Copies of this chain bind each other. A is one copy, B any other.
Amino acid sequence: MKVVVDGFGGDNAPLSVLQGSALAVKEYGVSIIMTGDESVLRKTAQEHNISVEGITFHHTEDVIEVCDDPTSIVKEHAQSSMAVAMKLLADGEADAFVSAGSTGAVVVGASLIVKRLKGIKRASIATVIPSQQGCFLLADAGANLECRPEMLTQFAMMGSIYMNRIIGVENPRIGLVNVGEEETKGRELQLETFSMLKESGMNFVGNVEARDIPLGKADVVVADGFTGNVILKLTEGLAKFLMGNIKDIFMGSLGGKMAAALVLKDMKKFKQKMDYKEYGGAPLLGSAKPVIKAHGSSDGYAYKNAIRQACDFVKQDVNGEIAKVLREQKAKA
């Protein structure tokens, strides 16, 4: 298994990329191709005593930044560490791709360099989010602000395969984000998607109101990318706000500090349950080859998990299963 990683994507690059890659080589026996300025990468590895065994460097000088226009990945930044890594994936030099860089650039680059699976209308950034029941997959989390019902239905299908094969959920429950549970609720997009999902033969459990999402009412939560992005970021912000206040209560008095000591172990366990790092990164579902977007603030551990996830994506043949379903759908039509 060969994974190509963007050595200069992410807030903590290249250090966390090197750390994560070294861990992945050691733990999973994977081979890594790392793009980026080779001398900087080697120097960073040396300074931090990180083994580069199993890592091949592919020298590039340019980097695409979060503030750059995503479409520049095929123009001004066609020689960036991310673009070159994607080209290596597209050319068959690697089995999967991981980057913690600009989400927009990953989406555009995947679409234009890696291309989509045949029959997939749009690739979807899908994110695993912790919930009361473990976790759920949110698709789309922001790649497609405007969606048609066919797109949402494909997100549901791909998300279902992902949750089954990668997270191990038997017959994942698919829910459509809406303002009410009734079939008659929502805008045109929700009304049409509801009937398509109902007819699809998938395990569609109906509309899901946003208040039921964190409670785990569905395993695959389907929404247009605008709504999905709001759900993803509000979840982050609200968790930060609430947990920050709880922390302030614990740290704000002597009694609080004593209380914190008493529940430390359980709080840590809960915090770990809520941690995105456990789930690796966000797969770009529908991409012709496995593309994983790691969290921008990934540390070495999170990066390692993103590489593991990329390997699982290949081993579990998620794309093969998606292609199979598309063929079956075509045959039926």
Contacts and interface: CB of A to CB of B under 8 A. Distances in A.
Interface of A: 131-132, 142, 145-146, 177, 179, 186-187, 209-215, 225-227, 229-246, 249-250, 252-253, 255-256, 258-260, 262-263, 266-267, 270
Contacts of A235: 234, 238
B234 A214 contact: yes
B270 A226 contact: no
Contacts of A243: 242
Q: A interface, by DSSP: helix, strand, loop or mixed?
A: helix
Given A262-B258, A266-B256, A131 B230 contact: no
Contact of A234 (B229, B231, B244, B267): B231
Contacts of A258: 259, 262
B211 A234 contact: yes
Given A142-B179, A249-B270, A234 B255 contact: no
B145 A179 contact: yes
B245 A242 contact: no
B214 A241 contact: yes
Nearest to A243: B242
Contacts of A270: 245-246, 249
A210 B233 contact: yes
A179 B239 CA distance: 18
Contacts of A234: 210-211, 213-214, 231, 234-235, 238
B266 A252 contact: yes
Given A233-B209, A237-B210, A179 B226 contact: yes
A262 B230 CA distance: 36
Nearest to A188: B146
A224 to B, nearest CB: 9
Contact of A187 (B146, B231, B245, B262): B146
Given A210-B230, A210-B237, A242-B242, 12 more contacts: A179-B229, A187-B226, A209-B233, A210-B232, A214-B234, A214-B237, A214-B238, A242-B243, A245-B270, A258-B259, A259-B262, A259-B263
A243 B238 CA distance: 12
A210 B229 contact: yes
11 contacts: A132-B244, A145-B179, A145-B187, A186-B226, A210-B234, A211-B233, A211-B237, A234-B238, A249-B266, A250-B263, A259-B260
B236 A211 contact: yes
Contact of A132 (B187, B225, B230, B241): B241
Contacts of A225: 179
Contact of A263 (B145, B177, B238, B256): B256
Q: Which 5 pairs of residues, A with B, have the shortest CB-CB distance?
A: A211-B237, A259-B259, A210-B233, A210-B234, A259-B262
